[in-house]
Amino acid sequence: MANVLVLQGPNLNLLGSREPGLYGSVTLDDISSMLDEHAAQLNEDNDEFELSLEHFQSNSESELIDRIHNAGKDGIVFALFNPAAFTHTSVALRDALLGAALPFIEIHISNVHAREPFRRHSYFSDIASGVISGLGAHGYILALDAAHHWLGRNQSDNETSGEGQ
Ligand code: DQA
């Protein structure tokens, strides 16, 4: 079992009604359901390991930090993270991810490079496994595919390094 945390930052609970020109009409619940369905499909197509998703959204920096701190003890091995506005402000969340040694993909629904200049800087991109920005809600599905691939590769690396021990 590979537990993946889908971590959603501030104001993403408003998706669907929030600035639809930028973020579309898809709600946060729609994104969670899309991801759950996609994970079920990936599990059906692959019997090497089973993906399980956990979803968490908060408008509070401290709650997001606590969720990251607890990830290890909850068996979470990877995160899909849209830090939302904290992308551009939060050294504390960056330190939490580094402290917990939690690998993650950074996701943005909008293309942050095509918006205001202050959105071009991220406290996460240089420590992320990868970054997806501007592909709408579909970016989460692409991130899950990438996480699945990454976890599969890690699993076979572990099996290979365990051989002969
Ligand atoms: C966002 C982009 C951020 O700049 C913004 O503050 C958000 C959402 C995105 O998904 O496009 O809240 O992360």
| pLDDT tens by residue, 103-137 | 999 999 999 999 999 999 999 999 999 999 999 99
pLDDT band at 165 (very low <50, low <70, confident <90, very high): very low
pLDDT band at 164 (very low <50, low <70, confident <90, very high): very low
**Chain segment 149-161, per-residue pLDDT in tens:** 999 887 777 677 6
Residues contacting ligand 1 via CB (< 6 Å): 11, 82, 84-85, 87, 108-110, 112, 119
**Chain segment 67-84, per-residue pLDDT in tens:** 999 999 999 999 999 999
140 is a catalytic site residue: no
pTM for this model (two decimals)? 0.94
For 130, phi and psi rounded to 5 degrees? -170, 170
Diameter of the chain measured on Cα atoms: 56
Strand order in the sheet with 76-82: 51-57, 2-8, 76-82, 104-108, 130-133
